[in-house]
Amino acid sequence: MMADRENIVVLTGAGISAESGVATFRDKDGIWSKFDWQKLATPEAFESDQQTVYDFYNTRRHKLRDVSPNPAHEALARLEREWGGGFTLITQNIDNLHERAGSQALIHMHGEMMKIRCAECETVTPYDDDLSFDLACRACGESGRMRPHVVWFGEMPLEMEGIYRALQEADLFVAIGTSGAVYPAAGFAAEAQAMGARTLELNLEDSDITPRFDAVRRGPAGAVVPEWVEELLDA
Ligand code: BV8
């Protein structure tokens, strides 16, 4: 019986958005099998070939207009609404499907695709249209220096303090649809476990961090997540 006052921390990765039609990164025909992350998702890439980085993110931003949250996103939003204890949702994803499903206690540790940031003054702005050199920063006026508000390789993920606080207080840590290939996110299960949390992995298949979990459930997130949430709320 899960006491209502227990604190749950959920970490999601690209696998939770796969059934919505958003490409994952390391599956068979994933994004990094077609594109070189070193040429597209690093600050150096942005400095050396800004237009190519713009094209890469504009293409993905366009695709986001044609996809919707799936039952896994909706189940997590329901859990947040109906759960009696603490609930924190950390996502590695830069899509906006969790918020569109109604999640609010949400940490986008790798940033958000539908926001842009001035590379000069760091001001972040929601923005739906294409990234281009013509864009000027509304805060400092600098033009041609707007970048996706996304954490690239080698950059510090966002809200790390809040994340480590949530991991410290977690009674249950659940990873959904992540390969456990990218740090520091891939280290969260071990950290939570070391601080006394039980750990559960919901994934289509084994990941790099499966050995870190007390329990695993295998299957597509769209089926496994609603099932798990139903059980939790009915307990
Ligand atoms: C950092 C935004 C210091 C961009 C991303 C050398 C140079 C520089 C850095 C490093 C280096 N060596 C190591 C590093 C650290 C590096 C790293 O870990 N590299 C890896 C490759 C070794 N990390 C960093 O650079 C990070 N910053 O370290 O700063 C620091 C350290 C500690 C504390 C503070 C600061 C920054 C990393 C962020 C990079 N940005 N994304 C963009 O999206 O364009 S990372 C990229 O991978 C994705 O965004 C995603 O967030 C992330 C993880 O991928 P997953 O979400 O797990 O997706 P993946 O495709 O891999 O897996 C899908 C999973 O879903 C699979 O398990 C599959 O089975 C499952 N699945 C599929 N379908 C379904 C499903 N599950 C359920 N249902 C389904 N239907």
What pLDDT, in 10s, does the model give residues 134-192?
999 999 999 999 999 999 999 999 999 999 999 999 999 999 999 999 999 999 999 99
Read off the pTM.
0.96
Q: Rounded to whole angstroms, how far apart are CA atoms 139 and 133?
A: 16
Question: One of 73, 98, 108, 110 is an active-site residue; which one?
Answer: 110
Ligand 1 pocket check for 163: Cβ under 6 Å: no
Q: Is the CB of 91 under 6 A from ligand 1?
A: no
C-alpha 12 to ligand 1 mean position (Å): 11
28: pLDDT strictly greater than 90: no
Assess whether 110 carries a catalytic annotation.
yes
Instruction: Give the number of other CB atoms < 10 A from CB of residue 129.
Output: 9
User: For the residues 42-58, what does the mean pLDDT come to?
Assistant: 97
Query: Over 80: is that where the pLDDT of 25 sits?
Result: yes
Residue 182 alpha carbon to ligand 1 centre in Å: 3
Find the mean pLDDT for residues 62-72.
97
Using 50, 70 and 90 to split pLDDT, how confident is the model at 4?
low
Query: Hey, where are the domains in the chain?
Result: 1-22+69-110+157-235, 24-66+111-150
pLDDT the model gives residue 140: 97
User: Which of the four pLDDT bands, split at 50, 70 and 90, describes residue 32?
Assistant: confident
Quick one: CATH architecture of 24-66+111-150? Answer: 2-Layer Sandwich (3.30)
* pLDDT of amino acid 204: 97
- Where are the extended beta strands (E) located within the chain? 8-12, 87-91, 106-108, 111-118, 124-126, 146-150, 172-176, 198-203, 215-218
- In short, whether 177's Cβ falls inside 6 Å of ligand 1 is yes
Q: Which residue's CA is the nearest one to ligand 1's atom 67?
A: 179
The winner for highest mean pLDDT among 1-15, 18-32, 192-206 is 192-206
Contact indicator for 86, 165 with CB cutoff of 8 Å: no
Superfamily classification of domain 1-22+69-110+157-235: TPP-binding domain (3.40.50.1220)
